[in-house]
Amino acid sequence: MPKPLLDTLAPRGYVGAHMRRLLLLFALVLGGCPGRVTYPECKVDEDCAAHGQVCSSGFCKECRDDANCASHPDKPVCRDAICTARPQCASAKDCPAGQKCAQEKCVPECSEATAAQDCGAGKKCIGGRCTAEEACLTDADCGQGRACVDRVCRGETLAGKTDRLGDCRLRAVYFGFDDSNLTPDARKALDEDGQCLQRATFRRATLAGHCDERGTTEYNVALGMRRAQVVRRYLVGLGADAAKIKAISYGKERPADPGHGEAAWAKNRRVEIAVEQ
């Protein structure tokens, strides 16, 4: 210890060797006390409180464990010292049927671009799900010359069929938006179609239900089928042979008018009748 400091603390000639050693130790302790840490360094949580953080491994962080994320209900999990959202899944079993777990989120189990990799041999991707190759939602899911009937690709289309039967023409019937009920005009047209079907000989009649472009593919396939089935029931009620009449649906895939307004939509909400003779 410098001599002037000792002279200040005690009268000259009074402090003994033992006292000098104690004063020297005291001065060393005072000189070695570290100063207050500065952000983002810390020793205790109070050092980080002004920033809304906690002390973790000597540094201020957003969280140390999940308890520190209680004030973030949308991000309740502490991961890498940051509050994050809870993962949707850890494996496919945590996801609904037809989905898989990817990067902790439930996503469709396949895409058309990666169907071979996602689904494997003998299957294809339809609507984000791996299905048998014969399954379908629309004609586009089937190969050329095949049609989607009752969600299965079949080797039948309207090719070779006609709306002409004997001396009459089978008329299409039309429906209101999102509706499968027969209007008075539709019933009148079907009364004439029914008479035509009873007068002439034919192998089979196909009733094809159609929809306008609004709504999902799946919904419109179902709606088109409801329309075709209500027409079938009406014709059978008029005396047509039920065994010869089949209802199918094309949904929104075969518009009669490609327009995008009400005039076009009204033409597309229909059931067409075609026969094989």
pLDDT of amino acid 143:
61
Q: Any bridge partners for residue 77, and if so which? A: 84
- pLDDT category at 122 given cuts 50, 70, 90 is confident
Residues 247 and 263 in one domain: yes
178 assigned to some structural domain = yes
159 assigned to some structural domain = no
Mean per-residue pLDDT, 172-194? 91
SS3 of residue 209 by DSSP = strand
- pLDDT category at 217 given cuts 50, 70, 90 is confident
Residues 52 and 101 in one domain: no
113 assigned to some structural domain = yes
Residues 70 and 96 in one domain: no
Mean per-residue pLDDT, 72-76? 90
Q: Residue 117 belongs to what domain range?
A: 87-133
Residues 230 and 250 in one domain: yes
Q: Whose CA is closest to 211, among 228, 199, 194, 196? A: 228
259 assigned to some structural domain = yes
Q: Write out pLDDT tens, residues 91-111.
A: 888 888 778 898 888 988 888
69 assigned to some structural domain = yes
Residue with tokens 């239900």: 209
**CA–CA gap between residue 13 and residue 20 (Å, rounded):** 11
Residue with tokens 């990067």: 103
Residues 127 and 174 in one domain: no
Pair of tokens at residue 164: 């002409």
Residues 170 and 223 in one domain: yes
Residues 212 and 268 in one domain: yes
151 assigned to some structural domain = no
Mean per-residue pLDDT, 103-129? 82
Are 57 and 40 in contact, with CB atoms under 8 Å apart?
no
Mean per-residue pLDDT, 75-79? 93
Residues 111 and 205 in one domain: no
How many domains does the chain fold into? 4
Q: Write out pLDDT tens, residues 186-210.
A: 999 898 888 888 887 778 888 999 9
60 assigned to some structural domain = yes
Residues 125 and 189 in one domain: no
Residue spans of beta strands (DSSP E) within 119-221: 123-126, 129-132, 147-149, 152-154, 164-165, 168-169, 173-174, 204-210
**CA–CA gap between residue 33 and residue 38 (Å, rounded):** 15
Q: Write out pLDDT tens, residues 27-63.
A: 555 554 555 789 999 999 999 999 999 999 999 999 9
- pLDDT category at 177 given cuts 50, 70, 90 is very high
Mean per-residue pLDDT, 248-264? 88
Residues 195 and 260 in one domain: yes
Residues 102 and 184 in one domain: no
Residues 255 and 175 in one domain: yes
94 assigned to some structural domain = yes
Amino acid at 178: D
pLDDT of amino acid 156:
46
